[in-house]
Structure 1
């Protein structure tokens, strides 16, 4: 516990760590704030229409009323001009965002929505819907029927049979966020524990520490300390994200996101113990700081692969990854959010992760004890394990 406390205090007072954490929190807060701003803002459009074009004027007035009644966060203002040339001038001088002309005014079979550049997509969709309804209503009158009679039975309702209200795009974003938290937490804290080990080894301080603290307890203290820091960091970032999401349109699915985040914290807590142990071994295999790039590269490649694959995986690949550590740390919580996992699947996946972590701890402990006292160059895993085995047999 003395070693763990020292690791926590040193890391918590590290300026680089604190600055990086503050920047990350600010980025998350800024992204959520920007999203909330986009969700809440109302777009205003000025649409020109030639005064003599009564059909277009009627359509724009209907579109403005529909946008206001449906709360589409669009405000539409009608700018009446005297001629087509005046409408083009209004677009050129940016006193109007678009110009609507009816089929009769355009002398063609269809209506035209003109802009100096490409008209806004939401504005185009609103006007297209309004014009379609207006034209259909006119055709219905000509045919001696009504609009309601023509459209009766044409309504289409959407239904998701798994009962999960979470949109697939939100699931994808959540997968990216969890993969990012996993990668940042494991690599950042893992690099710190590897750096701490090589610092003590290179300065020969570990030889003094070893006389008072058994190497097994030294390793355990470093793992506990780095795990507490990594878990605390992810809890802080998750809390910022969840609180921020409550101010956006995602507030409706906040319970599902909270459950997913809790599963992620549990999986990460267990899985990071194995990652921290392996990073400690990577530090012990090095003889100087410059060797860390070589000894930590396999771990970095593994974690990078998990980061890239997990947030983009779906279907059968995601199901398989949800049972394979360390990818299951991200994939299983994502499946929980997606409503794709049965109640027992996270428990089985967690059990597999626990067993894998215990195996990694036993292997890492042997390699750590075998490599920590060796100097003069990089130590391989084979040499470290053989040295520990020889020490145990000799004892």
Structure 2
């Protein structure tokens, strides 16, 4: 009894052998490894560039003519951080003192000064910020704000009052009633990133499943495998193995992204981003099982490698639509998509990040996704078993389902 019992156990656990083989083959695939490393490098480079741009300080040298006390006072306040620059740490102003207007023009021409500020004659008229070319917009904004404040302060002093008295009660504070600290632009970028991770993971790993299936079918190797391994076990192994690889890939990329975000201004909302990413991992883990099953069927419907572009194109179009629609969706559309698989894989985690969900909404959406995945796997299993042994041309879903009903192979 020992021999038959061991054979039965081996058949029942065959999916584990298949899954292990899929994981090892994929993990040792040079193309996969190189692609993953390149993606990690791109994410790291993008985060590094963003961090550099956020911390970068713009420096401006601004000329002022001797005797132009009003302009000198305005520039000194900017240089000392008492003017508009006090609210903008990324800008640094240095005052360049010159003897006359000719010297100021010469400084602009030889680029020892970026701009030249001259005050209004006699206290009336316009101040002038000159440049050899068009003055920098950021510098013009800061100088304009500083000059405006200085002129108002001088005129307030002239009538026996102060700027504090004139501006008392004029402060405006902002308040966000939903209590979520995440900026809408951050939510949009996060939606794009999650949609990208979903699309790359689903298409990349799904295509590998379809390629593996057609490779075994075209070489007739599957006919040998089928004598020892039930086809449903073969399918289960391919789904599990590919799901592990896809999930591992997204965990690595998500981890790199979260660690990188901790070095940027996004570090303050990292807890919210982490919660959203965890929901994405859970949704992706469940949803990819259905995607993997459908890609396996797409591979079984083909008889040659060249047929894959036809059998996988409906799936590719669906995944592309999810990628495009989910990261750009907003309002009612986003709420609806967060309950419709597979769009919910991206839309619901994005809504969690935006603080737009009640506690039960992700759970309900996940339950719908689980039910959809179970249905997709059961349907795919029937089509897979019916189509895998058919050769001679592309197999339709109808033919695959009919063949499965008429045979007990792999049952």
Using structure 2 for the length normalisation, give the TM-score. Answer: 0.92
Partner in structure 1 of residue 4 of structure 2:
none
Partner in structure 2 of residue 354 of structure 1:
370
Q: CA deviation at 1:108?
A: 7.1
Match of 1:47 among 35, 57, 62: 62
SS at match of 1:391: coil
Deviation readout 1:10-38 (Å, 9 max, x if unpaired): 00000000000000000111111111111
Contact kept in structure 1, 2:85 and 2:142, CA below 8 Å: no
Q: CA deviation at 1:112?
A: 2.3
Deviation readout 1:263-289 (Å, 9 max, x if unpaired): 000000000000000000111111111
Q: Can you give the 5+ residue segments of structure 1 that lack an aligned partner in the other structure?
A: none
Partner in structure 2 of residue 384 of structure 1:
400
Using structure 1 for the length normalisation, give the TM-score. Answer: 0.96
Partner in structure 2 of residue 330 of structure 1:
346
Q: Mapping of 1:177-196 within 5 angstroms?
A: 177-196=193-212
Partner in structure 1 of residue 19 of structure 2:
4
Q: CA deviation at 1:119?
A: 2.9
Q: Can you give the 5+ residue segments of structure 2 that lack an aligned partner in the other structure?
A: 1-15
Partner in structure 1 of residue 107 of structure 2:
90
RMSD: 1.7
Match of 2:48 among 22, 33, 42: 33
Match of 2:120 among 103, 109, 112: 103
Mapped partners of 2:66, 2:302: distance in 1: 81
Q: CA deviation at 1:387?
A: 1.3
Deviation readout 1:222-273 (Å, 9 max, x if unpaired): 0000000000000000001111111111111110000000000000000000
Distance 1:332 1:138, change over 3 A: same
Q: CA deviation at 1:69?
A: 5.0
Partner in structure 2 of residue 162 of structure 1:
178
Mapped partners of 1:25, 1:117: distance in 2: 41
Partner in structure 2 of residue 204 of structure 1:
220
Q: Which runs of 4+ in 1 moved over 4 A?
A: 67-71
Partner in structure 2 of residue 77 of structure 1:
94
Contact kept in structure 1, 2:287 and 2:370, CA below 8 Å: yes
Q: Are 2:164 and 1:148 aligned?
A: yes
Q: Mapping of 1:296-335 within 5 angstroms?
A: 296-335=312-351
Partner in structure 2 of residue 218 of structure 1:
234
Mapped partners of 1:138, 1:210: distance in 2: 92
Q: CA deviation at 1:122?
A: 2.8
